[in-house]
Structure formats: C-alpha cells, structure tokens
Structure 1
Amino acid sequence: YIEAGVLDVGITGLDWLSERGHEDKVERIADLVYSKTSNRPCRWVLAVAGDAPYACAADLAGKRIATELEGMTRRYFSRQGVSVNVFYSWGATEAKVVEGLADGIVEVTETGTTIRAHGLKIIDEVMVSYPVLIANKAAWREPRKRAKIEQLTLLLQGALRAENLVAIKMNAPAAHLDAILEMLPSLNSPTVSPLRDGRWLSVETVVEVGIVRDLIPRLREAGAEGIIEYALNKVI
C-alpha cells in the first residue's frame, strides 16, 4: 500500500520490509524500537529440539526448516553455505519440531520464553527486528506531506521515550533542598517552585522507571513529603 501510494505513511516490521524486498521502494523514516513486553528489539532465531545434536546452522544441512519468513531464512542459510529445505509454517511454528514435522525453526521471540517452554533451544540469531515508520517516496518529496510525516515521527518517538520515564513531584523542606536535588536526575534540571509556607518548596522532575523504587524511600528519608509518581504519555 505504501509503495503503490494508496497510503502515504505506515508502520511495518523491519523483518517484513526485508522479507518482501521493499527496502528500496519506500522511504524508511524512523526506527521505533519497541515490542510487546519491552523496549528492546525482537529477534528471529534458529531453534531446534532441546535434545537435538545440532549446535549451529551447518549441522542442519539437508534438514527441514519451518518458518513464516521463507525468503529471509533461505538467505540466512545461503550466507552460511548450508543447503536446507525451508517450508512455510502454518499455525504455531514451535509445534512443528515437537510434532516431528521439522528439524528446526526460524521464529520470532522477545525473551525466548515460549521457545524454551516448548522444549526447544536457540542455536543462532538470524535477524534483529523492530517496527519502522515508512513513507511513500512521492509523499516524502512533497513538502506539505513531509511536514506532517515529520510531526507524526516526533510524536511517536516521544511516546516511546516516555515508556521508560515517569514524573515525580514532592514537597521538599527548604532546609534539605540541596540534599534532595543531589538525588534527582532530570532531563535538564528539576523544577523548584516556592510554596505559600516559605519553609517548603515544590520539586518536580522526570526520572527513569527503573530507579523510582529505590529513589522514593531515599527522598522520604531526606524529608520530602507528598511524593507523587505519575506516568507520561510523551516526552519530546
């Protein structure tokens, strides 16, 4: 649709962009590194039965490989100099090995949990993938549409950036302000505002999600009160 100009802009996976051979037929505007359970890219991996004697791609010469990405899988084995029988996987790909229909699979995973749950082991990484924003080449050359696409890109990247951040706000005793500010990372500098009671100040900043659990108790010990943590929709 994007290549043909039916749509001006859209999101697809880097894997499918490569699989369908569209890399040179559309404009790749931005990488949106995101997956269902994390902000890490997903991986297409080569997996076999956990008790199989295969340790690398070369060990699968002449074997049957099931996958949803036939083109990419064939190119992978071709680069390895290994001849295999690649066939399209209808339904759950992991089950193909379990049911004896394939000797190995090339499947997408974020954490590897589902693959291990089926009793399989990963022996190689075939490709790293993530969503990409793409545009029709003619639309990208048109100034009005390009400006809209750039605005959309800015907002999408801002939303992804916000996934890893939270805002915290608190009342801080003026006498302990310096000690509290030393604990606070921020995008630029924490916001400090006076309160009606001059002995207290309002402090607000943005921090990474991963540090909040340890940070809030330390702030409380330093004298901060009324500490509020809230999620962010976008950080530009």
Structure 2
Amino acid sequence: MTAESQIILKLGVPKGSLEDATINLFERAGWKIRKHTRNYFPDINDPTIAASLCRVQEIGGYIEAGILDLGIVGLDWLMECGLEDKVVRIADLVYSKTSNRPCRWVLAVAGDAPYQSPRDLEGKRIATELKGLTSRYFDRLGVNVNIFYSWGATEAKVVEGLADGIVEVTETGTTIRAHGLRIIDEVMCSYPVLIANKDAMNDPAKRAKIEQITLLLEGALRAESLVAIKMNAPADNLDAILGMLPSLNSPTVSPLQDARWLSVETVVNIDVVRDLIPRLRKAGAEGIIEYALNKVI
C-alpha cells in the first residue's frame, strides 16, 4: 500500500498569524506538523492525513470546493468570504494561552474627529481589509459610506487624510491608540474556527477522522487553563482541605501506608493555584506537586 492510498483527510494549516498557534495546538493534541522551507506541504506524523500550508483567507474556499476536507480559519475571514453556510463549522478554537486569543475588528476614527458613533460617518470614506464584512455592518445600521480596500498600514490612512475612519483588527487597542485614533464601535469579535467540507462530513471514514481530531484539539485547548495538583493531606484535616479544592468532578483520595495521611489529587484552574497552594500548606498539606496537562477530555 502506498502512502497516498492511506490518506483519509486533507488538512489546511493556516499560514501567517494563526500558523504557530495552530501547529502548537496540533502538537499538544498528538499530531506533529513539520514545515519545510521550500514548499507548502508539511510533514505530519499521521499517514492518514495530508497537510497543506495555505493563506487563512483561502482555506475556506478550498474547503468549500473539496480541495481540502478540514482546516482552521479565522471567523472573520469565514464571514468575509460569505462561507458560513457553505462549510460545516465544527468547533470554535479559542486559544487562551497562545498569541491567537480572540481579537476584535473595530471602527476607529481620529482622536480629535467629531464622530461619536457609526451614524456620524454617513457619506464618509472607510478603509479596511474586510470590505464585505464592513459593508454588511454599515448596511445593518442603515449608514451609507464609501468603503475602500486597504492593502496595509490601515491605521495610517486616517492620519494621512486618506480615510475618515477605518475598520481594523486589534487585541488590546494599543496600536490604534498609538496612531492617535479612537475606537467608536466594535464590528465583530473573531477567533479561530475548525471547519470541514460538507461532503467530507458525509463520508464515514473522513467523518470519523474529523471527530477524532476535534475531540483531541478541544481536549488540548481545555487543558491550557487547567493544572493538576497532587499532595499528601493529613487525615484529620481532610474535610477542610477538600473544601478548598474545586475540580472537574471530585478530588481523588487514596490511602497511604501511613494511615495518618492520604494522597489527594485534583484538577484546578491555573488562575487559582498561586492562592490555593499557600492555603493548602497552611492546612497541613505536604509534598504538593503541580503539573501541566496535555489534554482534558
């Protein structure tokens, strides 16, 4: 059997801003993607998957056409290309620890401009990379504007007097403020989404592979915000220690050779650990171990 005959699924890996986060996520889920410097077909440690590195703006179209079966795109570009109903949206992949946290597309104007709301921009010029989404946004508001495509340095368009406002992507708004601009509305919130070809979802072998990938990707994402805590707890203060421990279900409590002590293990949100460990120590817990998790299913 040749390598090609084993391939079940054609996977689109987004090139650009989502690239590193996607590769890291797949690795935590169990699939190692290794790029080559001279081509767009990375290796993957699964003979049933063929991976292609594609521009995020193009992946949705390739999946709709059946050139790819599965891929990750930004929700913004899925909507910009009008593909929401033409592909299957499998899962929202909100990366909490990586660089690809949810981002916002915002409407911004010069800091000293008189505009206070989108309706104040009636008849004005708006620069953006997302012409389709921006057009639908203003249409919903009933505001007539002149939208033109920005090929980059969008924030500078207002500064240079080429536009009265922009629709641009931001996480914190820092870059927009650094250009002397002011946000007056949020157009949409975007994050990575896993999408599939409709025919692929009707193919039993492909669907099974897609469901396997989805399960493990979501498990890897869930694990990003969690850690495991293990400790030795004095039996005479067990109830107090258990009362401090949030968990997915309930903590695991196991006997030790010394009946005065018990082993306690649980999974908690990473944000509570710095406050939790000192409290556990004060309550008599010893040998406290914290360790990272790859996946939580």
Residue 63 of structure 1 corresponds to: 124
Change (3 A) 1:35 1:214: closer
In the alignment, which residue of structure 2 is the partner of 1:109?
170
Task: Render the CA deviation track for 1:41-76: whole Å, top value 9, x for unaligned.
Answer: 322110112221111111112222111101111111
Distance of 1:136 and 1:182 partners within structure 2: 47
Alignment of 1:12-31 (within 5 A): 12-31=73-92
1:141 counterpart residue number? 202
How many Å apart are 1:139 and its aligned residue?
Answer: 0.7
Shift of 1:35: 6.2
Q: For the residues of structure 2 that align with 1:73 and 1:100, how far apart are their CA atoms?
A: 20
| Equivalent of residue 188 in structure 2, options 127, 146, 149 | 127
SS at match of 1:166: strand
The residue that corresponds to 1:75 in the other structure is: 136
| 3-state SS of paired residue (2:90) | strand
- The runs of 5 or more residues in structure 1 that have no matched partner are none
Conserved? CA contact 1:35–1:130, under 8 Å:
no
Aligned to 1:202: 263
Distance 2:288 2:104 in 1: 39
**What is the root-mean-square deviation of aligned Cα atoms in Å?**
1.8
Does the 8 A contact of 1:27 with 1:135 survive in 2? yes
For residues 71 and 93 of structure 2, what CA distance do their matches in structure 1 show?
A: 12
Q: Which amino acid aligns with 1:48?
A: V
Distance 1:37 1:224 in 2: 33
Q: What displacement does 1:38 show?
A: 7.6
Distance 1:90 1:36, change over 3 A: farther
CA distance in 2, matches of 1:185, 1:24: 40
TM-score (norm 1): 0.93
- Give the CA deviation at 1:37: 5.7
Partner of 1:166: 227
Residues 35 and 110 in structure 1, CA contact (< 8 A), matched pair in contact too: no
CA 1:229–1:98: 2 relative to 1, 3 Å: farther
AA aligned to 2:256 is L
TM-score of the superposition, structure 2-length normalised? 0.75
Q: Which amino acid aligns with 1:228?
A: I
The residue number in structure 2 matching 1:177 is 238
In structure 2, C-alpha distance between the alignment counterparts of 1:59 and 1:196, rounded to whole Å: 74
Matched with 1:217 is 278
Q: For residues 155 and 168 of structure 2, what CA distance do their matches in structure 1 show?
A: 8
Percent identity, aligned pairs only, is: 83
The residue identity in structure 2 corresponding to 1:9 is: L
- Name stretches of at least 5 consecutive residues in structure 2 with no aligned partner: 1-61
* SS of residue paired to 1:220: helix
CA distance in 2, matches of 1:78, 1:224: 61
Decide whether the 8 Å contact of 1:162 with 1:234 is kept in 2.
yes
Amino acid at match of 2:158: V
- Alignment match, 2:30: none
Q: Which has the higher contact order (CA 8 A, sep 6+)?
A: 1
> Could you tell me how far apart the structure 2 residues matched to 1:103 and 1:158 are?
44
Which deviations, in whole Å up to 9, do the C-alpha atoms of 1:173-205 show, x marking residues without a partner?
A: 122111101100110111112223222222111
Indicate the residue corresponding to 1:186 in structure 2. 247
Alpha-carbon distance in 1 for matches of 2:72, 2:204: 20
Residues 10-58 of structure 1, C-alpha deviations (whole Å, 9 max, x = no match): 1111111111111222111122223676886322110112221111111
* Partner SS state of residue 107, structure 1: strand
